[in-house]
């Protein structure tokens, strides 16, 4: 498993543009919420207890974040628990639907692709599908950095991300001139 520094620097290398970052702060939470809403519609009985699929996804995802960086995982839990609670609430009120989840999902991805237009770089998950799980983790890291927390992590990933971006741009230029 790649370290948090490797994962975050890979992700940040195609998220250096401020406009792209802003669109991701809208798009990623919408995508996460929509996925958890969709999963809340899937009900499973485990040991006599009926549980939404959203709850079942939350457990391994949070364990993964915990293994990567326990401090960021705390922030992710603060974000994810209300996401799951709200999608479960929607399920129980009868307002949850596949169509609502798909609409929110599409709007979220719209924000993502608008951001990457400004970034002039393709989304990270196109080269590494695991980056889909790093997006929310990356945003949490960015929140920590804005608050002045996890400075050593920021000082580790930012230079690596810029170096990786430079290599990506050089490779793109080399392909164009060949």
Instruction: Encode pLDDT of 120-174 as tens digits.
Output: 998 888 888 889 999 999 999 999 999 999 999 999 999 999 999 999 888 888 8
Mean pLDDT of the residues in the chain: 94
Q: Which of 50, 59, 104 is nearest to 81 (CA)?
A: 59
Q: How confident is the model at residue 111 (pLDDT cuts 50, 70, 90)?
A: very high
Give the model's pLDDT for residue 129.
85
Whether the pLDDT of residue 77 is over 90: the answer is yes
pLDDT tens-digit map of 34-51? 999 999 999 999 899 999
Q: Which of 103, 99, 108, 172 is nearest to 135 (CA)?
A: 108
Q: Which of 113, 140, 114 is nearest to 125 (CA)?
A: 113
Give the model's pLDDT for residue 172.
80
Average pLDDT of the residues in 114-120 = 95
């Amino acid at each position: 498993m790649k370290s948090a520094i490797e994962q975050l620097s890979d992700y940040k290398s195609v998220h250096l543009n401020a406009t792209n970052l802003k669109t991701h702060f809208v798009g990623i939470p919408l995508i996460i919420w929509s996925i958890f809403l969709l999963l809340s519609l899937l009900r499973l009985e485990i040991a006599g207890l009926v549980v939404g699929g959203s709850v079942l996804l939350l457990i391994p995802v949070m364990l993964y974040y915990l293994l990567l960086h326990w401090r960021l995982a705390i922030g992710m839990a603060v974000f994810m628990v209300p996401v799951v609670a709200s999608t479960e609430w929607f399920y129980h009120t009868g307002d949850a639907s596949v169509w609502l989840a798909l609409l929110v999902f599409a709007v979220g991805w719209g924000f993502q692709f608008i951001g990457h237009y400004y970034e002039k770089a393709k989304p990270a998950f196109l080269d590494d599908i695991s980056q889909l799980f790093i997006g929310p983790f990356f945003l949490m890291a960015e929140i920590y950095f804005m608050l002045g927390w996890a400075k050593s992590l920021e000082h580790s990933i930012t230079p690596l991300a810029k170096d990786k971006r430079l290599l990506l741009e050089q490779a793109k230029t080399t392909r164009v001139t060949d």
